[in-house]
Amino acid sequence: MEALSLRDDLSDNTAAAGQNTLQLIAFSIGEQTYGVEITTVREIRAWNGATPLPNTREFVRGVINLRGTIVPIFDLRARFGDGQTSPTKNHVVVVMSVGDKWVGILVDAVSDILTVNRDDIHNVPEGNSIDTELLNGIVTHDNRMVGLIDLHAVVTGARMDG
């Protein structure tokens, strides 16, 4: 299936929009909406399966070969402790750069591109330790709460101790 590539010049639009705004790719896991900075997203692909890896946690679905680059795929639903996703042809993988590595996260659907004001980002309320560990903040956009994903936190702890 064809992948939707995001052009690198989108990051130029982010700078032009002003220093106090942030552009996010928004996606859903069930009824929840999450977002990541658009500059981290490399492409959005249809779910095509992944090759499982031994000795990894349940939220690591495996790896895919993306034009010669091996990309680990993380199941965001499982990472948040809600059990593994049962992927269908409608699920997508959002491929992102985390530092100098590429990772993919399996999500239910990509919804849209949001522009938010940095001043509107709030701290994650204390309570669910997984949410506070994996989110950088929460922002309200069009009467819905959008959790801002901390990509570094999502991809750490992928290998089992032992």
Q: What is the pLDDT of residues 43-93, one digit of tens each?
A: 999 999 999 999 888 999 999 999 999 999 999 999 988 999 999 989 999
113 contact partners, CB below 8 Å, separation of at least 6:
23, 24, 25, 26, 38
Tens digit of each residue's pLDDT (9 = 90 or more) over 104-119:
999 999 999 999 999 9
Q: Which residue has the tokens 């002003």?
A: 18
Among 3-12, 36-45, 54-63, 124-133, which stretch is predicted with the lowest mean pLDDT?
A: 3-12
Residues 109-134 as b or e (16 or more Cβ within 10 Å = b): eebeebebeeeeeeebeeeeeebeeb
Helix, strand or coil, per DSSP, at residue 138: strand
State the pLDDT confidence band at 133, using cuts at 50, 70 and 90: confident
Band (pLDDT 50/70/90 cuts) for residue 99 is: confident
Q: Which residue reads 């895919």 in tokens?
A: 64
| Mean pLDDT over the full length of the chain | 85
How many Å from the N-terminal Cα to the C-terminal Cα in the chain? 38
